[in-house]
A and B are shown apart, each in its own frame.
Chain A
Amino acid sequence: MPNRLQIPLPATGRASPEADLDEADLVAIAKRDRAAFASLYRRYVEPVYRYCDRCLGNRDAAEDATSLIFTKALAALATCRDDRFRSWLFTIAHNVIVDMRREQQPWEPLTAAANLMDGTRQRSPEALALATDDARTIQVLLAHLSADQRDLLELRLAGLTDAEIARSLGRSHGAVRTSQYRAIARLRALVSTSTLAKETSDDNR
């Protein structure tokens, strides 16, 4: 059975013909008519930007990354499967982020979070809890995970399903679920430790 790429023609005079099209149709149209890429851009610029900001923690870097991601996406659109645009786009996004992280100095929140877990500093549970309270952001939590687990949860927070994450990261669905489970369990242990330390601290006052 051959693939059938039936491209619907938007009706004349409609204010926003792409609103009625599903994503695969939009991708197919954008491959022929690059002007249609604007609809995909508008649909994804916010989650892509937020993903970049979450990963890079810097507005300028997030803007640079977002620009690069959509430029690359437009240039390579012909290689995208019509029904897998989101995971394909976030594959590009992930690769751009990896490249930019290599070039970037560690940003402050990540450095601070890493210090929290630095065993050589011999922080007490109380200090850990207080410090975590001071900087209880998603970046602090994610900084306690391995790079693979962090990549995965960042894509999770971008709205991808675990099947899409598997495609984006080039891993099996089962491997993603295993890694995700471990990441969540790790965070649970961390939060439990922080909470216990906080309660202990409060009791001693």
Chain B
Amino acid sequence: MTTGEPSRAQDAAGEYWDALNQGVPRPVVPDLDPSLANIIDRVRTLDDARSPDLDFVTRLEQQIMESSASTWFDLSVSHTTLTSSANGHREGLRMPLSLPRVDRPGRHWMASLVTAALLLLTLVAGYAAFGGALRPRQQDNMLVAIPAIEATPAPGVTAEEELLVVALPAEALPHAGRVILGLLHYTIPPTAEGTWPPAQPATVCPDAGCPGMELAYVLEGSVTVTAASPLQVVRGDGRGEAEPIPAGTELTLGPGDATLRPNGTAADYANAGATPA
């Protein structure tokens, strides 16, 4: 040891303070110099740092949580255009999904645009806001048009690219209540696994697993998905054909692949690759 101080004495002082910070009222630490313990106690006693005002704590929480909720889009009546279908055909919901595009060659823009690679777009519903404006009997003849999602422009972002367009059947749409669209980015580290439970964003769908659809789109990397419910997969090969997948089937997704499944069901996601997905 080059410091000149006895290592045990250093450890003892550290252990004593650790124990105090962990709530032990009078720790007994062998080899601790009582005068050092006395100084530690004295320093703690002298700590006169003030607590925050309750108003400040409340205000800051509101500010932080409001900013964090900005990726949830409330598609209540005021944001939704309801029109009758011209030919009576049940057209359902069309969701153009766009992301800002960075002015860089190839598709590497994605890596710098978002650290996340797995993008989950979830359409969920509550039961309050639509009220009589969207009664189930009328819904068969209505087209719900939802504006494209546009991320906040970042430096270097010069254009947008449409990643995927999905037409949802009317039956998949919420039949009443508040309609909410959420756009979430996730990164799955190499070798990591995770279970995606039924969606339960506490601020928007507190009472039950939210009905609706979940669209997952892989930006980069490789992800395996095993869902508890049947799902559809759209491969990123440009054909745009949806392939039905039975429940419990392990599915490997690559960049550009997407899945569509009921929102209120669980799925296991895993990244068996060597790079983040």
Name the A residues within 8 Å of B230 (CB-CB): none
Nearest Cβ on chain B to A165's Cβ, whole angstroms? 10
Please, which residues of chain B bring their CB within 8 A of the CB of A181?
5, 9-10, 13-14, 36
Query: A71–B43 contact, CB under 8 A?
Result: no
Contact bitstring B61-76, A, C-beta under 8 A = 1, else 0:
1011101110100000
| 7 examples of A-B residue contacts, CB within 8 angstroms | A13-B207, A33-B202, A67-B60, A138-B43, A157-B49, A178-B5, A184-B36
The number of inter-chain residue pairs (CB within 8 angstroms) is: 159
A12 close to B43 (CB less than 8 A): no
Give A45-64 as 1s and 0s: 1 = Cβ < 8 Å from B's Cβ atoms. Answer: 11001110110000100110
In the complex the two chains form, what is the Cα distance from A33 to B182 in whole Å?
11
How far does the alpha carbon of A92 sit from the alpha carbon of B197 in the complex, in Å? 30
Residues of A within 8 A of B46 (CB): 136-138, 141
The answer to whether B43 touches A153, judged by C-beta atoms less than 8 angstroms apart, is yes
Residue of B nearest to A37 (CB): B68
Check if A37 sits within 8 Å of B14, measured CB to CB: no
- Known pairs A36-B202, A159-B21, A181-B13; A71 contacts B64 (CB<8 A): yes
Q: What A residues does B87 contact at CB under 8 A? A: none
How many chain B residues touch A (Cβ–Cβ < 8 Å)? 58
- A interface bracket (residues with beta carbon within 8 Å of B): 35 or more
When the two chains form their complex, are residues B201 and A161 in contact, meaning their CB atoms are under 8 A apart? no
Whether, in the assembled complex, B274 has its beta carbon less than 8 Å from a beta carbon of chain A, the answer is: no
Query: Do residues A3 and B192 form an inter-chain contact, with CB atoms below 8 A?
Result: yes
Query: Would you call A10 an interface residue if the criterion is a C-beta within 8 Å of the partner chain's C-beta atoms?
Result: yes
Q: When A33-B202, A49-B52 are in contact, do A74 and B68 touch as well, CB less than 8 Å?
A: yes
Task: Give me the interface of A with B, judged by CB distance under 8 Å.
Answer: 2-10, 12-13, 31-38, 41-42, 45-46, 49-51, 53-54, 59, 62-63, 66-67, 70-71, 74, 78, 136-138, 141, 153, 156-157, 159-163, 176-178, 180-182, 184-185, 187-188, 191
User: For residue A55, which residue of chain B has the nearest CB?
Assistant: B49
8 A-B pairs closest in CB distance: A34-B68, A54-B49, A50-B49, A49-B52, A5-B194, A181-B10, A9-B197, A2-B191
Chain A nearest CB: distance from B37 CB in Å? Answer: 9
Whether B254 sits at the interface, judged by CB under 8 Å, is no
B202 pairs with A35, CB closer than 8 A? yes
Q: How far is the CA of A16 from the CA of B155 in the complex (A)?
A: 40
Distance from B27 Cβ to chain A, minimum over Cβ atoms (Å): 13
Do A67 and B63 contact each other (CB < 8 Å), given the known contacts A33-B200, A78-B116?
A: yes
- The contact of B61 among A34, A42, A180, A182, by CB within 8 Å, is A42
- B186 in the interface (beta carbon within 8 A): yes
Contact call A184/B39, Cβ cutoff below 8 A? yes
- Whether A45 pairs with B57 at a CB distance below 8 angstroms is yes
Q: Which residues of B contact A59 (CB under 8 A)?
A: 50
Q: Roughly how many angstroms separate A138 CA and B48 CA in the complex, as a whole number?
A: 7
- A45: contacting residue among B49, B52, B71, B207, CB under 8 A: B52
* Given A12-B208, A138-B48: 4 more A-B contacts, CB < 8 Å: A34-B71, A46-B57, A49-B52, A138-B47
State whether A50 touches B50 (Cβ < 8 A).
yes
B64 to A74, Cβ gap below 8 A? yes
Whether B60 lies near A66 (C-beta < 8 A) is: yes
Contacting residues, chain A, for B207 (C-beta < 8 A):
12-13
Residues of A close to B69: CB separation below 8 A: 34-35
A39: nearest residue on chain B (CB-CB)? B202
CB neighbours of B194 from chain A (8 A): 5-7
Residues of B within 8 Å of A78, CB to CB, are 115-116, 186-187
**In the assembled complex, which residues on chain A have CB atoms less than 8 Å from the CB atom of B196?**
7, 32
CA distance in complex: A141, B45 (Å): 12
Cβ–Cβ contact A33 & B191, under 8 A: no
**Contact indicator B200/A9 (Cβ below 8 Å):** yes
Closest residue on chain B to residue A59 by CB atoms: B50
